Amino acid sequence: MEEKEKRKNNDPNETERPTEKKKDKEKAGKENDRSGKKPFNYMEKIPPSRSSFWNNLATALLIFLGLLLIYSLFIETREELEEISLSRLANDISAGEVEGIIVRGNEVEIFYVDETERETRVENGVGITDTLVNYGLTPEELRAVDIEYRRQEGFSYWMMTLGPFILPLFLILIILWFLLRQAKGAGMQAFTFGQSKARMISPHDKSQRVTFEDVAGAKEAKEELLEIVDFLKNPKKFINIGAQIPKGILLMGAPGTGKTLLARAVAGEARVSFFSISGSEFVEMFVGVGASRTRDLFKMAKQASPAIIFIDEIDAIGRVRGTGVGGGNDEREQTLNQILVEMDGFEPNEKIIIMAATNRPDVLDPALLRPGRFDRRVTIDLPDRKDREAILKVQARKKPLAEDVDFRVISERTPGFSGADLYSLVNEAAILAARENRKTVTQFDMVRSIEKVLLGPERKSHVLSEHEKAITAYHEAGHAITASILPYADPVHKISIISRGRAAGYTLKLPTEDRRLHSKKEFLDDIAVSLGGYLTEKMIFDDLTTGASNDLQVAAALARNMVTRYGMSEKIGPIAMEGSDSSMAHQEGGHYPVGSRYSQETLSLIDKEVTGIISEQRERVEKIITEHRKALDAVANKLMEVETLERDAYETVLRDYGIDPEKKRDHRLSMKDEGTDGKGDIKKE
């Protein structure tokens, strides 16, 4: 029992399941046996912490004082004796006052009959007896004194002899060490430029371990990555059948979809070392540093095998070579070449997986994407409604929630949100609750945080005048009425004339379901809704303001994309004038202008088509505003009164004037069979 308790106290992982603990120990033992050396210690690759200037100065002073103390102990081993002349020594011997003499080299220690001690010195190479005889002493007088000769030796002698020479040299070495340490701490890392700056997460660090349970959604991506986990856990199963696991996995997806989190989850599931580095950390101002850091990173990973190397934002160094873009192009290309070589240098059964993440796969060099390198590509899409609900539950694990929190409702109101957006949403809701001194997060906090993430915080200090308030109310009412009448526009969830971010007011429209494809009819209705506020201002106040500038930009961009990218123009036809995946255009900082590739006649036709689309939607909106003027006035007046209208209150106002949003939604479903004309209007019999 005592041995069992002793083992339990010494085992920091006793809380783990016995099977997992046993597997970890067996795994560590196999790695030690295979390598014949101690397990790789990743702490050796981490540079030591930089001490402050005063700590280093205090250390140097303490060392210096310690040396002085040691030196003083050897040179101050006896009391300071009175030094007399040789003539006085001769007189004292003649008077019978001297009992004995001890001679050490040219130093003479004298012992008197009255038990006092004095000292004197003789010239080098001259005996004490000869010197005293020269001072007039007889041999009989000298024989009455006990004269003893002793050799100078021992540590004390050598310390006293060589100390004046060794101590200054040692002091100089301490000062040099101190200066070099300070220079390194100040950033002059002349000897560490080529070392990798990768951060490592140990498989035994439970505080930073991430598993697939921590990653909600992305079901298809996790299924793809399970093969990698299985290989890292059981490589023999693949090697025996002759299969080779992909050496490189490229994670592609929009920003905030969880690419880095998935890479960490793979390492956490497989219980292997995880090296993380950003693509920009390879390149330095000195030539060759990127390639050197690449070699050092792969060397570290091989020593810690099995391991995962994760390069975030690989497009920083993996862009197409030979374009001549950027001043450090040669250095970036050298780094990319070294990465390509290292990936080819892997042994067939070497348990190292390199993962990379980017949201710009179109700009990557083809050599990176060929089979044998990043030949497994995992696309991570924006989460759908069910995935958003699961992500919200994961993000809210450690937050106290009120009973009224319904993640299903929140997920329905957040289409297009990424995982990072949902994290920010939950965090903002917690901040709102803490600001109001509440200990739980409510549904109201969640709803408010959606608008804060989308549009920014409320600008309560931005007070509108009565005239501006009326213009804003009619502007937002124009958007809302147009969206409620048009069959393919998204339903209105909220209208507000409270300023948020850069907007004086806003109309929150959310789709009823997640869409991967957008139709021409939906684009036309979106353009019409964007023009709703602009045309309402013009028709009601016979004037225009700058508040519609963003709406006009959205409408013009949608119309131009319909013509130049999506082939939705009858006169232009199915021709893509502009592409969204042109790598050369992206490297130059944007798309090439259409005019650089097409004739003036084609450009003129594009402009006419864009203008025609906007003009047609303008006529539709003017007709809607004219026919539903009473509903428009009612919504605008209600907004000026309460400033914010939620969906239920808004639809109540519409029903009072004969507009039923439910009938519109049902009618839209029936239109799939009946068909519509090209403008989005229902075909008439």
SS3 state at 494: strand
SS3 state at 147: strand
- Rounded Cα gap, residues 280 and 328, in angstroms: 12
- Rounded Cα gap, residues 653 and 495, in angstroms: 13
- Rounded Cα gap, residues 468 and 315, in angstroms: 47
Of the residues 476, 522, 537, 609, which is catalytic? Answer: 476
What is the Cα gyration radius of the chain? 43
- Rounded Cα gap, residues 279 and 318, in angstroms: 8
Residue with tokens 């080299």: 105
Beta-strand ranges (E) seen in 410-480 are none
**CA neighbours within 13 Å on the CB side: how many for 455?**
22
- Residue of 348, 367, 383 whose CA lies nearest to 262: 383
- Residue 380 is given by DSSP the state E
- Rounded Cα gap, residues 653 and 642, in angstroms: 13
Given a contact cutoff of 8 angstroms between Cβ atoms, the answer to whether 304 and 200 are in contact is yes
Query: What token pair was written down for 282?
Result: 């390879």
DSSP per position, 60-122: HHHHHHHHHHHHHHHHTSSPPPEE--HHHHHHHHHTT-EEEEEEETTEEEEEETTS-EEEEE-
16 is catalytic: no
Given a contact cutoff of 8 angstroms between Cβ atoms, the answer to whether 160 and 104 are in contact is no
Residue with tokens 């994407």: 369
Cis check: omega of the bond before 306, within 30 degrees of 0: yes
Query: What token pair was written down for 146?
Result: 């006990």
Catalytic residues: 476
